[in-house]
Structure 1
Amino acid sequence: MSFGPPLPRSSFVLALLFSAPVLGDDLFLDDQPLPQVLTATRLKQSAAAVPGSMTVIDSELIKASGARDISELLRLVPGMMVGNINGNQAAVNYHGTSASEARRMQVLIDGRSVYRAGLATVDWSDIPVAMEDIERIEVFRGPNTVSYGANALMAVVNVITRAPANSHGTRMKITRGQRGISDWYASQGTGWDSGDLRLSLSGQEDDGFDTDRTGADYRDSRRLNRFSLAVSQTLNEQQSLDWQLNAKDGSNQRPYTYRPVFSGITSAGNNSDVIAKDYASSVRWNLDIHPDHSLYVQGSAQHWDRQQTWRACDAEVSFSPELTRLWQLNPNYTERLARHMERFTGTGAPAGTPAEQALGNQVLEQWRNGARQTICGDIDQSARESRYDLEVQDTLSLSDSLRLVSGVNYRYDRADSETYFNGTLDDTTWRAFGQLEWRASEHWLLQGGAMFENTQMIGSSLTPRVAVNYLINPRHGLRAVYSEAVRSPDMFENSVNWSYRVTNLSPGAYGQSSARYFVKTRGPGDLDQEHMRSRELGYNGFFADLGLNVDVKLFYDEITGMISEPLRNNQFIASNSNSARFTGTETQLDWHVSSNDRLRLTYAYVDANASNPRDEQQSARNSGSAGWLRDWGNGWNSALFYYGDDALNGYGFERVDTRVAKRIALGRANLELAGILQQRLDNQPTTFVDNRYDSRHVLYVSAQLEF
């Protein structure tokens, strides 16, 4: 696939859409049911009526893709930038920003946020949901603070799992392949007079990338097991109860990246792996007051536990109280001194303030007197985060032309880490939201909404959205949208209290078996929210007689007050001093050519311009996907997908995925055998220079039995 200039391509698509031969009589037929989405405004709407751009990845696409992770599925979303920090850490951003900190997209599982509380990221590999349990994924492509609060700055991904009522019977699946791929899944669904239940267990393994930039083995495999229980129960004609329990346990290898600061020290470490445990529960009470009025109350609790301990070696002077005070005076001066101790031993401390030079000379004297000896100890970089969430939502049809959704939300977040926070931090958030939809006439749909949010750590914000949709008919609509959004700085950015207590020191440091490393970092404590202003023009159409869905979007997004500096212990300079602008166009086309063939195309042109070059790293100017799904009959089906982008963090990406499957009837049971081949067309690392495979292709096979 070649990527051309954006505007001519968009003009061609728009011309195609509104040409009379294509529309024909289909334009005026509206008696067929329309597919509906929920994520955009919390109201059920047809795609043509949504105040923004939507992508729906349905169960057919999920299965045909052969994807093993949610992040891989998001390659099917136009404008979604999918990369890898390492083999078990995906980096996903909509339109871009930093390649390593994915902090500006809300991710929901059945409406429950999995955006971590303290470190403000999404652990894509550790989400406790199996791919086989996912019914569809709805992606709102654009800011949606109005509906989901701060952190829904650039997009919302809502993963919707299969209803227990649609999960009856037994399913078992195994997957094996190259690169250590070893997955399994088993589920049992059943029902009774007033309810349904689905229990699923699953596991996943692979070896990650093969080698780093030097050709050495890359330590980034993953091993995990998951548990999921979903129950839906009807209480009476008006009330029902849905509840879920989810858990995940596993380990993620981490490349050992610590390098001693002082010369002449050899690090003895080789393992900084993470033991990851996730727990989640939710319960939702639904009340249908009458056909035009419904209410729900939902509560959820989540806990993330990341245990990471490792051993490091450095010079004894690393624990010098004088060196610690010097670091607090001037980190740059201290780092210069520490990295060149031998050079300054004979000449004295480098030029600086009198206080800096005095402390520097004391440190040099300690170095001369033996504090250069190698000393090793244990480092605990573990973190635990918890979230408790309670939400009430009311949906009311005030008339045939007026609908209102409103609600309130309370959330409590807590983060606990000796290393990152020197203890515990917590935060509370209150929200009130509303969205009004008014059908002013047969063709005009006006929508407006706002979210008021108050957090203990940051303060209050009010974010609005207004949209005008012109419905040519119920299946074809033009839209103009203006929205504002915010992202609150997370606990780590704003209030980090970062230092390492090293234990089991051998030999002891200044006579102690436990001591603090000299590098200490404090967050500013007064960061403001990031702000986005977004303008969008678009078209969405469903050509029923052709089986064709089309969406075209033009966008202009501006972010101010961006927090984008490196968030590292020795270079932590968090501030609201940056900004970014994203402009461009996106197109997606989903065409059921016949009952046997389906074609799907996406393309995005994103022009990113940021004050900090890091905020352009994860923005590919051109990206897209193409897919062909085919049912050959006699139980055979196949899928062919292409994914490409011209540069994520400087590295291009092109891959072709092929899946071939055969379904075999075995009495009352069905067996499906499938083979998936992924072939890279480029020969570049993935996102970062160390992310390399020895072979450009990977093959894995699966067998699934249903009865």
Structure 2
Amino acid sequence: MLTPARLDQPVSEVPASVTVIDRELILASGARELYEVMRLVPGMSVAKADGNLPSVAYHGTQARDQRRMLVLVDGRSVYQPGFARVNWNAIPVALEDVERIEVTRGPASAAYGANAFTGVINIITRDPRDVDGQQTRVRAGNNGVLDSRVAAAHQFDNGAWRLSLNDRRDHGYDADLPPLDTGDAKRVTTLNGRSVWELNPRDTFTVHAGGSRTRLDRPNERGLEAIADYRDASQERAERAFLGLEWQRQVSPRHQFKVSLYGQYNNEDINLDLCYRDPITGTQGPGGGLYYSKELRDLYLANGGDIGQTLASAAADPAIQNRYATLQASGGGPFCGTGYLDVREERYDLELQDTLQLRPWARLVAGLNLRQDRAESQAFLSGTAENLSHRLFTSLALKPLPPVTVNLAGFWEHDDISGAHFSPRAGVNWEVLPGHTLRAVYARALRTPDIYEDQARINLPISGLSGPYGDRQGLLGWDPAYFFVTQRSPGTLDPERIRSRELGYYGRFAVGGLGGFELDVRYFQEELWDLVSGALNPFNFEPNNNGEVSHRGTEAQLSWRPSGRHLLRLTGAHIHTRATSATETRLAARDSAGALWLWRFRRDWWWSTGYYLARDYNDYPFERLDAQLGWRQRLAGAEWEWRLQVQQPLNSEPVVFAENEYQDDQRYWLTVTVNF
């Protein structure tokens, strides 16, 4: 196990509770998308709280902003630097490219720095030296499910490469159900490649590269619907690309050195095509231009950012009356234009890591990291902002006695936004009997404010104006013209903080001829404070550190392989959550559970079924039953694989929010894969 402490350790010796999802579990789950397999992790909240945008959070709190968990792909952070989020739709990795997923359950800033706040998900892709040949795949089902994949891998004298191109599309949920009145279709195309060169017996060089392109239909913004009519549906369009380089040297059998460098780019926007209603008459007309007038902006600022008071007093304001008369005299028709919620982000990261076996009973990993983040957005930042961070880390594993492992770790970092801070962790693992280990862990971690939280300056310009409205200066009082609502961050936010205490047990059992099973139990207490719990959108902007949350509970996971034909995975969590803000409890399920069973009932046939429960997400339970039938055969010199998957919700409750009334639809699809 590498992820928890950056050291290769047995699960029984790591300073954390860990969930490993391997290729067999992924196959058994029948999952179509990466985020879905996270339901196999105890304590993980997984839901589509906002249409076709998945929410994934360990010990979930806020439903739409999953900014407290680090997600890595081959060691590269996909946690977006400017706006503190993980877009699960756009991660450029298909499930077929994944070798395993290691989930560290608990604060891990001591190993990975700020933002490994509640845990770490490390997605490890397949080494091209372990695969060869070509693969094609087609998947089709209801709700417009239509996926395709082509992949190839090749091994050569001193290395190997693999490359895959994947396209995933569906109609989302049914249209005409608010908030999805205009539909919720999605299309995601991803490219993922990895090449490895064994330069000599000591040196290995690896290149990771890829990207994604996404297009999602987005629901109408309720705040805008109160003042305008949509003339075209909104879509979120995004492009992402990354390139990573890694050099590893085996200096000696007891000493390894690694240098990693990566860069990544993200560009996305959402179009808002609107015709604004006259605030005086309530109908479309030239008066709709008032929403983009300098006078209404001035009144908004004079009213301390109170939208309701601004609109209520607008008709009596002399300056606005004059602007209204100018617009009415323009002879123009409805005031229509396009706004864009634009985001561009870049990250460049350099890391050096040294691992040394100091003594037979002591191992040390230490390193340094330099990272530059850059975000650009006219809508959210009114320009460009950057953040440079420097980091030092170390982790020490000691075995003072053969059955005892002590793990000590610390991460020091300094960034332009939050200054210097330190995150420690200490853990003790005691193998009380062969195969049975008790674990005690104490950790502190933090999440630093992202660029948007620290430097937000919201200005929403309008474009695409025609006719007389092209004269923005003459008709609206300024050029460029901005929506009257604006927000600005005070730039004084402190890092969010967490303190965690954990007692755990890990055991491996052999039960005669019934095979063996693994059991992991975790009892934890977590206190989170200085949380940024308030809304941070253009209409409701409340940046402060007033939020507090406490979690206390128990989690368990059991894996049982009674034979080579059967696999059973059971997970469960019971968590008490208390918070000062209701927004911090919306994705916090008190009770959750999962069960997955794989049965290879014939040589080339298998059956799997899964059950998932969460009570509750924002007072609404989630409950679903999955079933899969699979078959492999040799045909025309190739291996063919057929899989039929059905997902059946067991209730018709909304998903997280009352307006998300789309859970009662059955999903099914057929997947055909050819390996040759």
TM-score of the pair, normalised by structure 1: 0.89
Partner of 1:525: 491
1:212–1:692 contact (8 Å) kept in structure 2:
no
Structure 1 counterpart of 2:632, from 637, 658, 663 = 663
Partner of 1:29: none
Partner of 2:281: none
Deviations 1:3-57 (A, max 9, x none): xxxxxxxxxxxxxxxxxxxxxxxxxxxxxxxxxx111001111111111110001
Partner of 1:609: 578
Unpaired segments of 5 or more residues in structure 2? 277-287
What SS does structure 1 have at the residue aligned with 2:465? strand
Partner of 2:408: 448
Residue 417 of structure 1, CA deviation: 0.8
Residue 331 of structure 1, CA deviation: 4.0
Alignment of 1:373-392 (within 5 A): 374-392=334-352
2:437–2:506 contact (8 Å) kept in structure 1:
yes
Residue 696 of structure 1, CA deviation: 2.5
Quickly say closer, same or farther: Cα 1:563–1:229, change in 2 above 3 A: same
Structure 2 counterpart of 1:91, from 49, 52, 55 = 55
Name the aligned partner's letter for residue 602 of structure 1: T
State how many pairs are aligned: 653
Deviations 1:135-178 (A, max 9, x none): 11100001000111100000100000010011211111111000
Residue 515 of structure 1, CA deviation: 1.0
Q: Distance in 2 between matches of 1:212 and 1:439?
A: 62
Q: Distance in 2 between matches of 1:497 and 1:574?
A: 12
Residue 443 of structure 1, CA deviation: 1.5
What SS does structure 1 have at the residue aligned with 2:129? helix
Name the aligned partner's letter for residue 308 of structure 2: E
1:323–1:334 contact (8 Å) kept in structure 2:
no
Kindly indicate whether residue 320 of structure 2 is the aligned counterpart of residue 363 of structure 1: yes
Structure 2 counterpart of 1:494, from 454, 457, 473 = 454
Kindly indicate whether residue 31 of structure 2 is the aligned counterpart of residue 67 of structure 1: yes
Alignment of 1:298-377 (within 5 A): 298-314=260-276, 315-331=288-304, 333-338=306-311, 340=312, 345=315, 348=316, 360=317, 362-363=319-320, 366-367=323-324, 374-377=334-337
Name the aligned partner's letter for residue 564 of structure 2: S
1:639–1:659 contact (8 Å) kept in structure 2:
yes
Partner of 2:280: none
Residue 521 of structure 1, CA deviation: 0.7
2:652–2:662 contact (8 Å) kept in structure 1:
no
Residue 474 of structure 1, CA deviation: 5.7
Q: Distance in 1 between matches of 2:507 and 2:91?
A: 34
Deviations 1:405-450 (A, max 9, x none): 1110111100111111111111111110001111010112111110
Residue 667 of structure 1, CA deviation: 5.9
Residue 242 of structure 1, CA deviation: 0.8
Kindly indicate whether residue 196 of structure 2 is the aligned counterpart of residue 232 of structure 1: yes
2:293–2:481 contact (8 Å) kept in structure 1:
no
Partner of 2:619: 650
Alignment of 1:596-635 (within 5 A): 596-635=565-604
Residue 502 of structure 1, CA deviation: 0.8
What SS does structure 2 have at the residue aligned with 1:593? strand
Residue 371 of structure 1, CA deviation: 6.2
Between 327-336 and 151-160, the greater mean CA deviation after superposition: 327-336
TM-score of the pair, normalised by structure 2: 0.93
Alignment of 1:435-514 (within 5 A): 435-473=395-433, 475-506=435-466, 507-508=468-469, 510-511=474-475, 514=480
2:153–2:161 contact (8 Å) kept in structure 1:
yes
What SS does structure 2 have at the residue aligned with 1:567? coil
Q: Distance in 1 between matches of 2:510 and 2:322?
A: 82
Quickly say closer, same or farther: Cα 1:577–1:212, change in 2 above 3 A: farther
Partner of 2:550: 581
2:182–2:233 contact (8 Å) kept in structure 1:
no
Residue 191 of structure 1, CA deviation: 0.7
Kindly indicate whether residue 674 of structure 2 is the aligned counterpart of residue 705 of structure 1: yes
Partner of 1:39: 3
2:651–2:663 contact (8 Å) kept in structure 1:
no
What SS does structure 2 have at the residue aligned with 1:504? coil
Residue 306 of structure 1, CA deviation: 0.4
Name the aligned partner's letter for residue 542 of structure 1: R
Name the aligned partner's letter for residue 188 of structure 1: A
Alignment of 1:192-231 (within 5 A): 192-211=156-175, 213-214=177-178, 217-231=181-195
Q: Distance in 2 between matches of 1:498 and 1:504?
A: 20
Partner of 1:281: 243
Residue 261 of structure 1, CA deviation: 7.8
Q: Distance in 1 between matches of 2:318 and 2:523?
A: 61
Quickly say closer, same or farther: Cα 1:516–1:298, change in 2 above 3 A: same
Q: Distance in 2 between matches of 1:194 and 1:216?
A: 52
Structure 2 counterpart of 1:255, from 191, 195, 219 = 219
Q: Distance in 2 between matches of 1:694 and 1:133?
A: 29
1:317–1:371 contact (8 Å) kept in structure 2:
no
Partner of 1:548: 517
Name the aligned partner's letter for residue 295 of structure 1: F
Deviations 1:262-295 (A, max 9, x none): 7xx5513332212111101101000001111101
Q: Which runs of 4+ in 1 moved over 6 A?
A: none
Name the aligned partner's letter for residue 237 of structure 2: I
Quickly say closer, same or farther: Cα 1:477–1:216, change in 2 above 3 A: closer
Deviations 1:32-88 (A, max 9, x none): xxxxx1110011111111111100011001111111112111011000001113343
Quickly say closer, same or farther: Cα 1:465–1:589, change in 2 above 3 A: same
Residue 320 of structure 1, CA deviation: 2.8
Q: Distance in 2 between matches of 1:190 and 1:406?
A: 35
Residue 538 of structure 1, CA deviation: 0.4
Partner of 1:147: 111
Deviations 1:591-622 (A, max 9, x none): 00222111111001111111111101110100
Name the aligned partner's letter for residue 535 of structure 1: R
Deviations 1:331-352 (A, max 9, x none): 45442241x46xx85xx5xxxx
Partner of 2:210: 246
Deviations 1:296-355 (A, max 9, x none): 0010010011032232232222123232122223345442241x46xx85xx5xxxxxxx
Q: Distance in 1 between matches of 2:228 and 2:414?
A: 49
Partner of 1:565: 534
Structure 1 counterpart of 2:19, from 49, 55, 65 = 55
Name the aligned partner's letter for residue 658 of structure 1: A
Between 58-67 and 302-311, the greater mean CA deviation after superposition: 302-311
1:446–1:467 contact (8 Å) kept in structure 2:
yes
Partner of 1:420: 380
Q: Distance in 2 between matches of 1:330 and 1:590?
A: 60
Q: Distance in 2 between matches of 1:406 and 1:182?
A: 46
Residue 198 of structure 1, CA deviation: 0.6
Q: Distance in 1 between matches of 2:307 and 2:605?
A: 66
Quickly say closer, same or farther: Cα 1:210–1:119, change in 2 above 3 A: same
Kindly indicate whether residue 656 of structure 2 is the aligned counterpart of residue 690 of structure 1: no
2:655–2:663 contact (8 Å) kept in structure 1:
no
Partner of 1:395: 355
Identity rate, percent: 35
Q: Distance in 1 between matches of 2:99 and 2:268?
A: 29
Aligned residues: CA RMSD: 2.0
Between 472-481 and 565-574, the greater mean CA deviation after superposition: 472-481
What SS does structure 2 have at the residue aligned with 1:419? helix
Quickly say closer, same or farther: Cα 1:176–1:440, change in 2 above 3 A: same
Kindly indicate whether residue 563 of structure 2 is the aligned counterpart of residue 594 of structure 1: yes
2:303–2:309 contact (8 Å) kept in structure 1:
no
